[in-house]
Amino acid sequence: MDPTLIGVPIVVLSNNDGCVVARSSEAKALGIPMGAPFFSVRRVCEAHGIKVFSSNFSVYGDFSERVMSVLAEHARDFEPYSIDEAFLGFPDMSEADALTLGQKIRADVLKRTGIAVSIGMGATKVLCKIANERAKKEIQSGGCIVVPYDYDGRMNFLKGIGAKEIWGVGSGLAARIRSHGILSAADLAEADPAFIRRLAGVVGERIALELRGVACHEIIEDAGARKSIMVSRSFGRMVTDLRDLEEAIATHATRGAEKLREDGLVASSVVVFFGTNKHRQDQEQYRADEIEILDPPTDDARTICAAAGRALARIHRDGYWYKRAGVLLQGLSPADSVQEMLPGMGAPVDLSKRRLMKAVDALNAKLGREVVRPGSTGLVRNWQGKSEQKSEASTNKEEVTKPKSDAKKPRIRFHE
């Protein structure tokens, strides 16, 4: 969006301008670590002229959709995996054809979206992920790497991959297998599956098998309905007042209810949680969560706000410096399923309420996010998080959401 940034070191920050969550290669070369708290690298950024941006998820979501739609054209089996990753399936393809195809897809995405992608190809998802990481790092690969199909070639390829770099192997699993001498992806592929099963459970066993080329993770074309909705934020500053906490919880509950309606779902319970700053061990710590049943299940912002408020009142304690609060909606089911309820299962759905929420959604779609919202969400909201370096670049303005198409939306979600 801004060609003057080509070749310039750049970092992008998490919500609340908290941590570094993305770095250009120039910023990586200057030694900015992934996940660093921004305050700990601010001086380095200033000293080297590193450009710093707040996150801008409406732009990322827009470009994600563009890239995904190009990718989907290229494969019969297509699984959007995250905002910037997808799995594509090509059964029975030769090694040479795979490389040609990968390069073709990469060129097509670049041409039509301006986004450079890296592509890893192999017999299983775990092998693809390893190849993709190498394609990203090794410029001479041209952005596309195929894991050798033959045994010797594959083992040679896996020798150079540390165990911790394997998809699905976190710090815990890496430490456990390391104590048994398993240091590389090749070591894990060679290990006895029954032994790995005992050592690392089915999760570890599947990873080991995938390294051998045995697919344990299929491409999931339809992820199905989601199982929970969470909305939470850190505060821009310490919060001590119950009123501020109430406003934040009401705001998150309102957004959660909106997400329910976007997906055509209702929730049967809401969990409220909040806590102090866990990084500040010099301060008194308090964390709490509390559930409130929603009967009948609902997507109505006012009902969910009221329930969340009751839960908060039960667990709130004065005298702490709070840093974060949120809301979790659980027990999700399709909204159209609650209309036929058995006797004793609660009051029938009030259709006038549904019309009201529809009107609210229509107004906010037209006039901008949060133009119409419950008064309990507050007016001043001095607890809100920081976003001080947001780029101007926006192809779909956050304030006005795009008109909804009738096409079924792929199930990709990301935080705002």
Closer to DNA by Cβ: residue 233 or 316: 233
Task: Work out how close the CB of 107 gets to DNA at its nearest, in angstroms, rounded to a whole number.
Answer: 23
Task: Work out how close the CB of 355 gets to DNA at its nearest, in angstroms, rounded to a whole number.
Answer: 25
Task: Work out how close the CB of 194 gets to DNA at its nearest, in angstroms, rounded to a whole number.
Answer: 14
Signed CA dihedral, 55, 59, 64, 70: sign only: negative
Task: Work out how close the CB of 234 gets to DNA at its nearest, in angstroms, rounded to a whole number.
Answer: 4
Closer to DNA by Cβ: residue 16 or 254: 16
| CA 335 – CA 353 distance, rounded (Å) | 13
| CA 46 – CA 27 distance, rounded (Å) | 12
> Which pair of structure tokens corresponds to residue 223?
């992820």
Task: Work out how close the CB of 412 gets to DNA at its nearest, in angstroms, rounded to a whole number.
Answer: 10
Residues that bind DNA (CB under 7 A): 14-16, 18-19, 21, 35, 37-39, 81-85, 129, 166-174, 201-203, 226-234, 237-238, 259, 277, 279-280, 323-324, 326, 385, 413-416
Signed CA dihedral, 364, 369, 371, 374: sign only: positive
Closer to DNA by Cβ: residue 173 or 357: 173
| CA 366 – CA 403 distance, rounded (Å) | 9
Signed CA dihedral, 234, 239, 240, 242: sign only: negative
Task: Work out how close the CB of 192 gets to DNA at its nearest, in angstroms, rounded to a whole number.
Answer: 17
| CA 358 – CA 260 distance, rounded (Å) | 12
Give 78-87 contacts, CB < 8 A, sequence gap 24+.
78/219, 78/221, 79/219, 79/220, 79/221, 79/223, 80/410, 80/411, 80/412, 82/412, 82/414, 83/412, 83/414, 84/60, 87/125, 87/128, 87/219
Closer to DNA by Cβ: residue 154 or 233: 233
Closer to DNA by Cβ: residue 48 or 217: 217
Closer to DNA by Cβ: residue 74 or 197: 197
